[in-house]
Amino acid sequence: MTTPVRASVVVVSHQRPALLSRCLLSLSQLDHPDFEIVVVADATGQDAVARLAFAERLKTVRVDAPGIAAARNAGLARAAGEVVAFIDDDAVAEPSWLCHLSAVFTDARVDAAGGYVLGRNGISFQWTGRNVDATARHAPLPLTGTDPVVLAGRPDRAIKTEGTNMAFRRATLAALGGFDPAYRFFLDETDLNMRLARAGASTAIVPLARVHHGFAASPRRSTNRAPRDLSDIGASTAVFLRKFAPSGESPAVLDALRRAQRARALRHMVAGRLEPRDIARLMSTLEAGIAEGIARDPSDPAPLAPAAASFLRFRAGAGAAHALLAGRPWQARDLRERAARMVREGQPVTLFVFSPTGLYHRMSFTDAGYWIQTGGIFGRSERGAPLWQWCGFSSRCRRELARLAPVRRFRPETFDVLRAPGRPG
């Protein structure tokens, strides 16, 4: 991997202190040698930050009002790295995320970069590479392999970066004025992608720069992802269309949005996550948002000043390599306690707990700060693999280590420490 450049990581959080703490714990294990963390949060988030063992190594900015674009700009104002990366509070980063994401900026052509996003099971992709047109419609990019790819957009189509996994050259982002505060939620990064494309900038898609994203509850959606309010989606779409859509296309795009959101709400109703009376209410919030967005003034952000604070390095040198713990379900309690203790002592840990079954695998980052993968010895992890795989416990552990090696740096002796697990007494 190319030596990464000095980077700032900006995390925006609003009314989700527990998730913010978990996100920051994952960032504390990054193996990047030269980075800082800027936390933009409300009062509850600031209280959560103050309780972290590494609180003094974080830059903090208090922003109580909701509004993702304005909050990201507040973080950008304090970010002193050459590159500024963004991750959401309901996501956690693979230890190598920032190294992979920032390394591409050694290429002078690159002004922006985006990585891949894993979904709830921690293995399947939620988003990979995409582009987006002037009506905010997305399409997948035909990418293969794991090497970064540098792509240039066009005035009518930009290379998409996901808001929870993106980075920008600070000088470029500042020259464009950062994020447009006319977007309070939804499409703020897509607006920036379009402005970058129209400025002739190039974006790198970095497949190995990976974060895990869980779609946490918010005022806009419940824990089961059922929508609660569509006004921000309507407003942001209206603002985006006013800025970028070709003349005369907005009415058709808004009609398509109405149909899509109604179909989405009906799917949740059929699944029992919404009641019939919720449909009309949700559609009324969408209409109110569209009307408000049409009346809202999109801005032409002015260039931003240099960072308002000096660089606050999170630590000197790269983070520690991961240790591996592995065992069967009857050993899980002891293994979890050991993993948590090792994390408290400064040792990142990945824990495998594999049962003698064909269960699908899942990967997650715990509140205690260790990674855990569960599933059956014979079950599949990658969703394209066979449903049933004949192998032993140790060989399955080695196979999963090989799968994770590109994104998680294990200690050199890891492959030598695996032992056959004991049986319950």
Sign of the torsion formed by the C-alpha atoms of 158, 164, 166 and 170: positive
- Domain ranges in the chain are 7-213, 231-295, 323-413
Mapping DSSP onto H, E and C, the string for the chain reads CCCCCCEEEEEEECCCHHHHHHHHHHHCCCCCCCEEEEEEECHHHHHHHHCCCCHHHCEEEECCCCCHHHHHHHHHHHCCCCEEEEEECCEEECCCHHHHHHHHHHCCCEEEEEEEEECCCCCCEEECCEEEECCCCEEECCCCCCCCEEEECECCEEEECECCEEEEEHHHHHHCCCCCCCCCCCCHHHHHHHHHHHCCCEEEEEEEEEEEECCCCECCECCCCCECCCHHHHHHHHHHHHHHCCCCCHHHHHHHHHHHHHHHHHHHHHCCCCCHHHHHHHHHHHHHHHHHHHHCCCCCCCCCCCCCCCCCCCCCCCCCCEEEEEECHHHHHHHHHHHHHHHHCCCCEEEEEEECCCCCCEEEECCCCCEEEEEECCCCCCCCCCCCCCCCHHHHHHHHHHHHCCCCCECHHHHHCCCCCCCCC
The confidence score (pLDDT) of residue 150 equals 97
Total-model pTM:
0.94
Please name which of 103, 101, 105, 125 lies closest in space to residue 115, comparing C-alpha atoms.
101
Q: Give per-10-residue mean pLDDT for the chain (425 aa).
A: 84 95 97 97 97 96 93 96 97 97 96 96 95 96 95 96 97 95 93 96 98 82 86 95 93 96 95 94 96 84 87 90 94 95 94 96 96 96 86 93 94 63 48
**Which pLDDT does position 416 carry in this prediction?**
58
**Location of structure tokens 């040698």:** 33
User: What is the rounded distance in angstroms from the CA atom of residue 326 to the CA atom of residue 307?
Assistant: 45
Two tokens, residue 287: 């209409």
Q: How many residues does the chain have?
A: 425
Residue 388, pLDDT score: 86
Cα-Cα-Cα-Cα torsion 304, 310, 311, 313, nearest 10 degrees, comes to: -150
Hey, what's the torsion of the CAs at 173, 177, 182, 183, to 10 degrees?
10
Assigned architecture for domain 7-213: Alpha-Beta Complex (3.90)
